[in-house]
Homo-oligomer: A and B are copies of this chain.
């Protein structure tokens, strides 16, 4: 129920921002989300007893996502620079035994959250809406398909409720959405969009499973409680993080 309510506010807000929002606001929101995900990623590591960089780090890490609004050269530069700033902070840290943990968790968060999220900024709004439609359709059909027909567990250790049948239903949903939305919004033809739907649906499900694996590995249920019923931003955007680079390559290579 809480989940439905958040979705009822969240989905229209995202769609409106994507279509009508000014570019700077979109970049700001994407970077802000990346900062929140970095915080969650650090907390997952902290749950396994790993020291983390200071409170300032997620804000600095968001700059890596924002750099995608300029170009890839800037992305690499900001990534290198933030890494060096973090490493320098380690030199002057109070407790030497925390330095390696903190550097390691910090850098990993930069890539898993900021770099992957950055590809979202590269997509024009029509492509991003298509991508979101593919992911949402896949998620929904996986959920209801799994409830209706689910019998064989997909990855019982990582995500006990997911089934092979649900995964297949999700792929069908993603392909249908890709065809229906992609042809209209992107002017693409049927076959490429069917392939894109299959690819994005598959990669999105892997992103979803990966994030579940990380949570389970950390021994926590939710990566944060920012979104009620959604288990954290990282949990909500896990498919998007993996699907965005793939869709970018699909469209622009």
Seen from chain A, the residues whose Cβ lies within 8 Å of a Cβ on chain B are 44-45, 48, 50, 71-73, 75-77, 79-81, 83-84, 87-88, 90-93, 96-101, 103-108, 110-112, 115-116, 118-119, 155, 157-158, 203, 206-207, 209-210, 213-214, 216-219, 242, 245, 249
B80 touches A213 (CB 8 A): no
A84 partner, pick from B50, B206, B214, beta carbons under 8 A: B206
> A206 and B87 in contact (CB under 8 A), knowing A48-B101, A96-B157, A216-B96?
yes
Nearest Cβ on chain B to A170's Cβ, whole angstroms: 15
The 6 closest A-B CB pairs, nearest first, are A100-B217, A72-B72, A99-B217, A107-B108, A87-B210, A104-B108
Interface of A is mostly: helix
A111 to B210, CA, bound (A): 20
Nearest Cβ on chain B to A106's Cβ, whole angstroms: 8
